[in-house]
């Protein structure tokens, strides 16, 4: 924290609110970085010459507003900021990350041929039991695991999907485009889900918290299904936003709730 900073005990602004604003400013300016531990309650009491109740109130409010998180065995740390993705823009995980100046990465868990079950066959517009490619990856953002992607790729593309072609930096969409696939559009659904024990284990989740679960079917420029993915994002790391036009007006703008 900045040396010489003092709370104004004569101000009409409550002390806990002044402390809240100061810590928040330290977080937003980068003085306190993501996942970094802040001083303990006792240290803050001594630094600012305030009561423990005052410190706890400020910390509690910062927790509530998503700036801080208490972690067992570590203390209070700066919560990683959620990475926003515009749902109206068609892009890959890697593409989204690079646009925002983040570093995407992957850990390849599996790459193999499987038989399409009923759901996968329907999504990829192929026959039930038809051979498709399965790619399972942990997705990383700036070195931190934030998602698990299970991706099924059509076997009708005219070339094999080989595990040896994928490493920590390979973008599937770029890979497909390099093989002559012109991507056109995608259908996506997003919901909150509780993780299965398997997903918790694969994402190294210590707590049983909800996931942001996304399904996507990607089509080429001719409308043929290319890939179907089931993606599970750790909820404190990712969020989605969408801009909606023509709310409440006209025949073309409507929303199903």
**Each residue of 30-54: pLDDT tens digit?**
888 888 899 999 999 998 899 999 9
**Each residue of 204-230: pLDDT tens digit?**
887 778 899 999 999 998 999 999 999
- The residue among 211, 230, 204, 217 whose CA lies nearest residue 149 is 230
**Each residue of 74-114: pLDDT tens digit?**
889 988 775 554 444 555 676 666 666 778 899 999 999 99
Predicted confidence at residue 91, as pLDDT, reads 59
Arithmetic mean of pLDDT over the chain: 84
Dist. CA 115–CA 5, nearest whole Å: 64
Q: Check pLDDT > 80 for residue 241.
A: no
Dist. CA 59–CA 98, nearest whole Å: 33
Handedness of CA 161, 135, 217, 174 (dihedral sign): negative
**Each residue of 148-171: pLDDT tens digit?**
999 999 999 999 999 999 999 999
């Amino acid at each position: 924290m900045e040396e010489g900073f003092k709370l104004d005990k004569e101000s009409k602004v409550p002390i806990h609110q002044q402390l809240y604003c100061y810590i928040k400013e330290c977080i937003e300016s980068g003085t306190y970085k993501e996942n970094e531990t802040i001083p303990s309650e006792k240290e803050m009491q001594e630094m600012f010459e305030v009561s423990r109740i005052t410190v706890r109130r400020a910390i509690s409010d910062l927790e509530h507003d998503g700036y801080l998180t208490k972690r067992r065995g570590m203390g209070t740390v700066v919560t990683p900021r959620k990475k926003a993705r515009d749902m109206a823009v068609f892009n890959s995980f890697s593409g989204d990350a690079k646009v925002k100046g983040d570093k995407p990465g992957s850990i390849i868990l599996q790459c193999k041929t499987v038989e399409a079950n009923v759901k996968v066959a329907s999504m990829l517009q192929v026959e039930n039991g038809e051979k498709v490619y399965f790619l399972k990856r942990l997705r990383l953002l700036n070195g931190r695991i934030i998602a698990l992607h299970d991706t099924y790729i059509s076997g009708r593309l005219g070339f094999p999907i080989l595990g040896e072609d994928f490493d920590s930096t390979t973008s599937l969409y770029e890979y497909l485009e390099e093989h002559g696939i012109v991507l056109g559009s995608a259908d996506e659904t997003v919901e909150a889900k509780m993780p299965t024990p398997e997903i918790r284990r694969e994402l190294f989740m210590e707590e049983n918290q909800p996931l942001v679960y996304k399904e996507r079917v990607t089509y080429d420029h001719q409308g043929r299904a290319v890939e179907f993915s089931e993606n599970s994002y750790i909820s404190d790391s990712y969020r989605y936003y969408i801009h909606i036009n023509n709310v409440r007006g006209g025949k073309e703008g409507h929303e199903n709730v």
